[in-house]
Chains A and B, each alone.
Chain A
Amino acid sequence: MGLEYTKSKKIALSTILLLAAVTVVEVIIALLGKGYIIEGFHMPWWLMGLLMIGLSIFKAVKIIFEFMHMSYEVPQFAKSVLLPTGLLIWAVIAFMWEGSDWKSRRNLIQDKNKDIEKVEMKNEQTGQLIREIKSEDRH
């Protein structure tokens, strides 16, 4: 819409080639970071995550603005769709954060429970039997 046929044809082709190239880069980052390409080479997880999330959002923007023609729509309309979408992407990322916090809290509680167990074993000096039951429980 709004663009002349040959020009929009060119934009579509360059967009798809860009998307394909970004996808290849993402996969290379994933394999490189996990040591598949260079033996023994690893990337820190946060760097990989940041790069791949950034590149994926870039792909999403290209698809929305070029393939779905959002950049040729009325600005108010674009905002009414993009604002909620942006909030959704933020929510997905925020809940990954939230999940990792659940994990660290669970670990914290487990560590504290271990300390409690040790204290109990010191206090009750009845010996072997209790200690065995408790250590079996822990598997």
Chain B
Amino acid sequence: MASEIVTHDTDHDVDHHHDDHHHEEMTPQWEGGKPLFRASYGKLMMWYFLLSDAFTFAGFLIAYGALRFSMPSWPVPDFVFRLFPFAGDTVLPLIFVTFMTFVLLFSSYTMVRAVQEGHRENKNGVAVWMFLTIIGGAAFLGCQAWEWATLIGKEHMSVTKNPFGTHTESGAYLDANGNPSDDVFEPGASYLMHHLDHHAHAAEHGDDHGDDHHGAGHTDYEIGKDYKDATIDERGLIHRKYIVTSGEDEGMIKTEMYGPKAFGALFFFITGFHGFHVLSGVVFLIIIFVNVLSGLYVERKNGYEMVEKIGLYWHFVDLVWVFVFLVFYLL
């Protein structure tokens, strides 16, 4: 820059005399030569990129918080997230997401170790710890894939339909003849509307789902038909009927409704956006891992700064998960 200004001065000495004079009078604020905030340009810009990314996530979480707390009821997380891979229908509330959180946390630790090995220019150390971080990131993505597959394939959650509901009154489910059965519930009880296919499948195997087993007597429900104990919607979900036993609607016969539909959209968009960050993080980790192996950063002699920068990004992904975990699974 400085040399450019000099040539500029000599080329246009007559026309821009006034401007040149102005240049000379200015006292320079910052002359370069030393990095701003004593951090490299790349690191600073990674931090400000992460700050801007935090704004995006905050926007999503604000939408989530405002919508959730404006609804009369919201799917209870320890009911929605109660399954574990290979554990069948055993109820293990929040255990799987806790496992996912641990996977991400420990991949954050291996990332710190990679950065530390980088500071003392230990190429093999960086490679080993980065490799473990990549494994951790991939494991987290695998867990998330299972979680999504369960929600979409098994529990029939979609962006616009949420089969998880919450009762606001106490009541008793009707049996196949339309009479109140022993299957009673209290206000605040959660339900999941089951699909015809799963229902028939469960009945064949004499498999009782426990508390949340839905659809009492019939095994021959048909899509779009109305029965004494349930209505089957066009998606094949069983809406059970119940008689209200408390409150001002006591004695009325009601049908289970879909839960707040914003749940599916918010869940898939927010965990999807976070998962996309993890995915791109894994891709960048792999690229930098290959560069580490090739010895590129040995030549740069800057303490593996590139590993430090991807480390910042990786910790940020973990940081966002702390809040996703808080608002979706804990609260």
Binding site for B on A (CB under 8 A): 1, 5, 8-9, 12-13, 15-16, 19-20, 23-24, 26-27, 29-31, 34, 36, 48-49, 52-53, 56, 59-60, 63-64, 67-68, 73-74, 76-77, 81, 84-85, 88-89, 91-93, 95-100, 102-103, 106-107, 139
B76 — which chain A residues lie within 8 A by C-beta?
34
Contact A92 B58 (CB under 8 A): yes
Convert B133-151 into 0s and 1s, putting 1 for each residue whose CB lies closer than 8 angstroms to a CB of A.
0000000000000000000
- How many residue pairs, one in A and one in B, have C-beta atoms under 8 Å apart? 142
B253 CB, min distance to chain A CBs, angstroms? 10
Residue numbers in B under 8 Å from A98 (CB-CB): 66, 69
Chain A at the B interface: mostly helix, strand, loop or mixed? helix
**Counting CB contacts under 8 A, is B261 at the interface?**
no
Chain A residues, Cβ within 8 Å of B318:
63, 67
Give complex CA distance A56, B328 in Å.
13
Tell me if B's interface is mostly helix, strand, loop or mixed: helix
Alpha-carbon separation in the docked complex, A84 to B50 (Å): 12
B267 located at the interface, meaning its Cβ lies under 8 Å from any Cβ of chain A in the complex: no
- Can you list 15 residue pairs at the A/B interface with Cβ under 8 Å? A5-B120, A9-B113, A12-B113, A13-B109, A19-B105, A30-B78, A56-B323, A67-B108, A67-B112, A81-B48, A85-B51, A92-B61, A98-B69, A99-B65, A99-B66
A116 to B187, CA, bound (A): 27
Residues of B within 8 A of A64 (CB): 315, 319
Given contacts A27-B330, A60-B322, A81-B51, contact A99 B69 (CB under 8 A): yes
Is the CB–CB distance between B70 and A102 below 8 Å?
yes
Q: A9: which of B47, B66, B116 is its contact (CB, 8 Å)?
A: B116
Whether the Cβ atoms of B39 and A73 lie closer than 8 Å is: yes
CB nearest neighbor in A for B329? A30
Task: Indicate if B67 sits at the interface (CB-CB under 8 A).
Answer: yes
Instruction: Choose among A5, A23, A67, A100 the residue that contacts B102 (Cβ–Cβ < 8 A).
Output: A23
Task: Please state if B39 and A74 are interface contacts (CB–CB under 8 Å).
Answer: yes
Task: Tell me whether A31 and B70 are in contact (CB under 8 A).
Answer: no
Q: Which 3 A-B pairs have the closest CB atoms?
A: A99-B69, A77-B37, A99-B66
Closest to A23 in B: B101
| B111: A residues at CB distance < 8 A | 67
Asked if A100 contacts B70 (CB within 8 A), the reply is yes
A73: which of B37, B71, B102, B116 is its contact (CB, 8 Å)?
A: B37
Which of B72, B116, B319, B331 is the one whose CB lies under 8 Å from A5?
B116
Name the residue on B nearest A8 (C-beta): B116
Is B55 on the interface with A (CB-CB < 8 A)?
A: yes
**What A residues does B252 contact at CB under 8 A?**
139
The CA-CA distance from A81 to B50 in the complex, in Å, is: 9
**B278 close to A (CB within 8 Å):** no
Within 215-238 of B, Cβ neighbours of A (below 8 Å) are at: none
